[in-house]
Amino acid sequence: MPYNEQLLKHVDAYGYPLPPGRRWKLRRRAIDTGKNAVAGMIAALLSVIGVLLRLGRLGRRYPPLTPRSFHPRRILVIRLDPIGDLVLSLTVVHTLKRAYPEATIDLLATPTSAKVITIDPHLAGVILYDPNLWRRPGALIKSKNWRDLRRLLAALHARHYDLAISLYGSWAATLAVLSGAKRRVGYGAESFPGFMTDSVPGRHWEAGDHLHEVDYCLKLAQAAGATVTPADRVPHLTVDPRAQAEVAQMLAEEGIQSGKLLIACHVCSSNGQSKRWPIPYWTALLDRLIREQGAQIVLTGAPNDLPLIERVTNHMQEHAVNLAQKTSLAQLAALLQRANLLITGDSGPMHIASAVGTPLIAVHGPTDPAQSGPVSLNATILHSDIWCSPCYNARTPADCRFFTTQCMKNIRPQQVYEAVLSKLQLSDTAAAAKKLASTNEIVNITSTNQDNYA
């Protein structure tokens, strides 16, 4: 049974999980203990390998990683994380291409996330691999897994990389080593001793560290020799013209009229239910936008999100177009580019919208917008500023440890509606309704939740 469909069987009226029973907690604890034990053994083995790698480099001299002294022919950028992180990582690709214009740059990403990048003038190729398959039961005894890994390594070695950038995590660092790249850049504390030839101090999300994800990425680009400007913080995603044409036809078939206000809404989250705004709040907001502003609403999502989206649409009195599972990631980027506005929680589509220049409103509760919010000059962030928020640490799903998700409940439909009006600068005329505000603000909301959904 799909993840979201299974969880919706045990949720409250807001769509959030009910507190688990004692049996679930014991099972979760046993699973975590087993995973930590295996991870510890693997880390010990890889640390030994790292020491050997470091010993093998003794006495070798490496030129500084600058365009003056380092002239790579082939560069590998590794990002094995969800869609939003991959979109933000494009800033590394673009700054490296500017620093080393003669170099060929490849991107190594998971098959799911990489689908968002169909074309990019800075990339020579996208290599697909999903290391998460090794987490599944019996993964080590499946010959296909080993064959796929051998094929990957053969393809990487055939490219003879001069430089590999491990953007996040131990798997990226391990594949940087296995790629055979002569120089490897990454955060040392996220890797294993000796894995990086050019180790950058620190790691993502250190306690008290409020850097945004894009800034962590750009620090690695700087370590690799790129010069970074403030403008480089904003990611840019190239939209496939074929996808634009396909989306135009799809919208026409759904009755969406060109020239009328089109608002895309992403009600889902793939990494924890607490990133989602409450279901009845979505219902109230969307009905009001359609009735009072004549908005055309399009809902986006993956196949696993259908039960959640249908729960929203079934409680609406007005009609919203449900395009969940009907669009590819390339088409989703084209759809968001076509929309006048995106309303979403902290999600991959949020970062896609930023990267294609679409104005957006992002609702944040458990996550810190300073670390994971949209990097855009046209974003309004609504954040519930309560004592326990933000609580998300990116190592586990974003689910409320108190099973209240009060931070998201505090952000009322009225407040989001007002943000929409401000964003679109709506007035009495239809022409003024199309004029978009250019703002980048965080609105902290401290109101307490009530039982009505206004």
Q: Does one domain contain both 163 and 130?
A: yes
What are the C-alpha distances in Å from 369 to residues 228, 246, 287, 385, 397? 22, 33, 27, 11, 17
Q: Does one domain contain both 180 and 315?
A: no
Walk along the chain (454 residues) in steps of 10 and give the mean pLDDT of each run.
50 82 80 73 76 77 92 97 96 98 97 94 96 82 92 96 96 95 94 92 82 96 96 96 97 95 94 90 97 97 92 95 95 97 96 96 92 92 88 80 90 96 64 48 62 56
Q: Does one domain contain both 281 and 389?
A: yes
pTM, whole model, 2 decimals? 0.90
Cα-based torsion angle of the residue sequence 257, 281, 414, 383 in order, rounded to the nearest 10 degrees: -110
pLDDT at position 3, please?
A: 41
Q: Does one domain contain both 188 and 335?
A: no
Q: Does one domain contain both 281 and 408?
A: yes
Within a domain: 22: no
Within a domain: 453: no
What domain count does the chain have?
A: 2
What 3-state class would DSSP assign to 400? Answer: coil
pLDDT at position 422, please?
A: 92
Q: Which domain holds residue 378?
A: 239-445
What are the C-alpha distances in Å from 331 to residues 231, 251, 264, 350, 353? 26, 11, 13, 15, 12
Within a domain: 58: no
Residue 376 CA to residue 436 CA, distance in Å, equals: 14
360-364: strand order across its sheet: 321-322, 296-299, 262-266, 341-345, 360-364, 379-384, 440-445
Q: Does one domain contain both 440 and 306?
A: yes
Q: Does one domain contain both 220 and 299?
A: no
pLDDT at position 446, please?
A: 59
Domain's final residue, options 233, 261, 286: 233
